[in-house]
A and B are shown apart, each in its own frame.
Chain A
Amino acid sequence: MSSNNLDQLYRQVIMDHYKTPRNKGTLEENHITIDMNNPTCGDRIHLTLKVEDGKVADAKFDGEGCSISMASASMMTQAVKGKDVDTALQLSNIFSDMMLGKDYDDSIDLGDIEALQGVSQFPARIKCATLAWKAMERGVQSGEES
């Protein structure tokens, strides 16, 4: 019954990222800062990115929110770190498709992110999972302009 569905949402790897988030904190210098929140529920993220030579050289996040939003932020920083900006944005698109339950491009290794697939079955929680990705998109785009 329902605890199986819950297990689809709260996969082991998600709880691991929630418990021991990767890249938690704030970059000290030469960074882009993005603050975003989810106005309906109060989740918030403070993301700092270092973009150099078209690459996401470093990424850290801080914030408050539920297990899904914080685990997603942790996974996002892990996924985009060291990738070039185009790949980071491509990952963001794939993630968005995954959340909408669409077929998504699986030619790129998604690693831990794939564990969030179950969120698409919980419409109320999709915004939790996409918050960090939206912040990243905004950050790298503003980095390209400046």
Chain B
Amino acid sequence: MINKEIKKHFPILNQEINGHPLVYLDSAATSQKPVQVIEAMKAYYELDNSNVHRGVHTLGNRATEKYEGAREKVRNFINARSTEEVIFLRGTTTAINLVAQSYGRANVEEGDEIVITYMEHHSNIIPWQQLAKERGAVLKYIELEEDGTISLEQVRAAITERTKIVSMVYVSNVLGTMNPVKEVAEIAHQHGAVMVVDGAQAAPHLKIDVQELNCDFFAFSGHKMVGPTGIGVLYGKKELLNAMEPVEFGGEMIDFVGLYDSTWKELPWKFEGGTPIIAGAVGLGAAIDFLTEVGLNNIERHEHEMAAYAMDRMSTIEGLNIYGPADPEQRAGIVTFNLDGVHPHDLATVLDMHGVAVRAGHHCAQPLMKWLDVTATARASFYLYNSEADVDRLVDGLRIAKEYFKDVF
């Protein structure tokens, strides 16, 4: 159980929007930040700020300790074997691009296959489209089941001996579906392919164990898990990362620089060109401490409960259609829906006028929208600070919107 008092740690939630107490239901886009994260970053800038890995002076050492300390927190959070496998980057998008541009360019050849699914975020589609075009490779999509889940039969049908990379979202940002990435990784490995997991929506909500999943790469962002924007992580198996070339060259990532040739630092630093995202890493470390104290298992349970309650309450509204698996146990706290006769933008505006923040649009997943045969949807996403009272406010807002637009059609 999550204590309802937890909301008090998030200063932003204590405000009125358009005359109503804010109900924030857009955490799948970005989560709010607890005071512990904000204070940790403030303290870093006020007391320890310096550049890392070079200072002989005390502040340089402190900053390095904080930055590398955050890396150890991430290692523990995802159960990587070593901090060498934890690379700090800007976010999930940058992380997947790194895999595509480094591992992909070196290992994907003409006629090879890259396999993804219809439920990917654009950040797990376009890097592969670009790679496929560049290498003359084939980009294949795994079909979805009627209810927006992925069956292993479809996975087995899509992956062949020519498949070099399988990349899949762990938790869908639209359907909320939790995908069987561990089983998919096993199938990928049987065919000699590597498994990339887009964990952007998973890391905030589930206990992640990269060794248990046995994936080769795992990408996630800090800002969706109560951390700051601008920091994310690429986990990769050490033997793969060791064989990969950096994609960004410059300061911080070099070992020795000659006039015409240079060598790279050891892992993980060879992939962290330029002054790193030090304050961001400190903030991410504080976010991990916060989530760990609440307990990822408690958060996951809370999300299922929120999804169940929301789906139950929302289904009492006539003309409201919910996309994705009907069983709340099969989804994280994401409920995407449409209300007959009210376009999602109009719906989001009416809800906003009542203090309820939801997302409306294609959610950066246009191929999935096409599969659902809709141009846009509305999405309510829940996190640890949301409660049943927030769902009630959403449902009240939906009824008001329905009433408001009832004369249109």
Binding site for B on A (CB under 8 A): 1-3, 5-6, 9-10, 15, 18-19, 40-44, 64-69, 122, 124-125, 128
Shortest A123–chain B CB gap in Å is 11
Q: Quick one: closest A residue to B344, CB to CB?
A: A66
CB-CB under 8 A from B310, the residues of chain A are none
Q: Is the CB of B408 within 8 A of A2?
A: no
B249 within 8 A of A: no
Contacts of B343 in A (CB 8 A): 65-67
Please state if A44 and B375 are interface contacts (CB–CB under 8 Å). Answer: yes
Closest to A6 in B: B353
**Contact assessment for B345 and A68 in the assembled complex, using a CB-CB cutoff below 8 Å:** yes
Per-position 1/0 for B355-369, Cβ under 8 A of A? 000001110001001
CB of A101 to closest CB in B, whole Å: 17
A42, B367: Cα distance in complex, Å: 12
Within 8 A of A (CB), among B318-352: 343-346, 349-350
Partner of B408, one of A5, A9, A15, A44: A15
Q: Are A5 and B353 in contact (CB under 8 A)?
A: yes
Q: Are A19 and B375 in contact (CB under 8 A)?
A: no
CA distance A128 to B20 in the complex (A): 25
Confirm or deny: B258 has a beta carbon within 8 angstroms of a beta carbon on chain A.
no
Complex contact A3–B404 (CB within 8 A): yes
Q: Mark B199-241, 1 if CB is under 8 A from A, else 0.
A: 0000000000000000000000000000000000000000000
Which residue of chain B has its CB nearest to the CB of A18? Answer: B408
| Contact B376–A41 (Cβ < 8 Å) | yes
Q: Are B376 and A2 closer than 8 Å at their CB atoms?
A: no
State whether A5 touches B361 (Cβ < 8 A).
no
Q: Which residue of B lies closest to A41 (CB)?
A: B361
B346 touches A67 (CB 8 A): yes
CA of A64 to CA of B377 in the docked complex: distance in angstroms? 13
- What are 22 A-B pairs with beta-carbon distances under 8 A? A2-B18, A2-B353, A3-B353, A3-B404, A6-B350, A6-B404, A10-B346, A15-B407, A15-B408, A18-B408, A19-B408, A40-B361, A42-B362, A42-B366, A42-B376, A43-B375, A64-B375, A65-B343, A67-B343, A67-B346, A67-B408, A68-B346
Docked CA distance A40–B349 (Å) = 15
Q: In this assembly, does B121 line the interface, its C-beta being within 8 Å of a C-beta of chain A?
A: no
A19 CB to closest chain B CB (Å) equals: 6
Question: Which residues of the partner chain A approach B361 to less than 8 Å between Cβ atoms?
Answer: 40-42
Interface of B: prevailing SS: mixed
Q: Once the chains are docked, how many angstroms separate the CA of A15 from the CA of B376?
A: 20
Q: How far is the CA of A43 from the CA of B346 in the complex (A)?
A: 12
Chain B residues with Cβ below 8 Å from A44 are: 375
Point out residues on B near A: beta carbons under 8 Å: 18-20, 343-346, 349-350, 353-354, 360-362, 366, 369, 375-376, 400, 404, 407-409
Chain B residues contacting A68 (CB-CB under 8 Å) are 345-346
Whether A19 contacts B409 by the Cβ 8 Å rule is yes
Instruction: Assess the B362–A41 pair: CB atoms within 8 A.
Output: yes
Whether A125 and B345, one on each chain, are in contact in the complex, defined by CB atoms closer than 8 angstroms, is: yes
**Chain B residues with CB below 8 A from A2, complex form:** 18-20, 353-354
Chain A residue contacts of B376, Cβ below 8 A: 41-43
For A124, list chain B residues within 8 Å (CB): 349
CB-nearest residue of chain A to B350: A6
Q: How far is the CA of A18 from the CA of B19 in the complex (A)?
A: 28
* Residue on B nearest A4 in the bound complex, by CB: B353
Top-4 shortest CB links A-B? A66-B345, A2-B353, A66-B343, A41-B361
State the CA gap A64–B375 with chains docked (Å).
Answer: 8
Q: Kindly state the separation between the CA atoms of A44 and B366 in the bound complex, as whole angstroms.
A: 13
Chain B proximity of A64: nearest CB distance (Å) = 5
Known A-B contacts A42-B361, A44-B375; A125 and B408 likewise in contact (beta carbons under 8 Å): no
* B369, closest chain A residue (CB): A42
Nearest B residue to A70 via CB reads B343
Q: Which residue of A lies closest to B17 (CB)?
A: A2
CA distance A114 to B48 in the complex (A): 56
Closest B residue by C-beta to A1: B19
In Å, the complex CA distance between A73 and B288 comes to: 48
Cβ distance B312 to chain A, nearest Cβ, rounded Å: 27
A68, B376: Cα distance in complex, Å: 15
Q: Which residues of B have CB within 8 Å of A3? A: 353, 400, 404
Residues of A within 8 A of B404 (CB): 3, 6, 10
Provide the bound-state CA to CA distance between A19 and B341, in Å. 10
A42 contact set on B, CB distance < 8 A: 361-362, 366, 369, 375-376
A76 to B364, CA, bound (A): 29
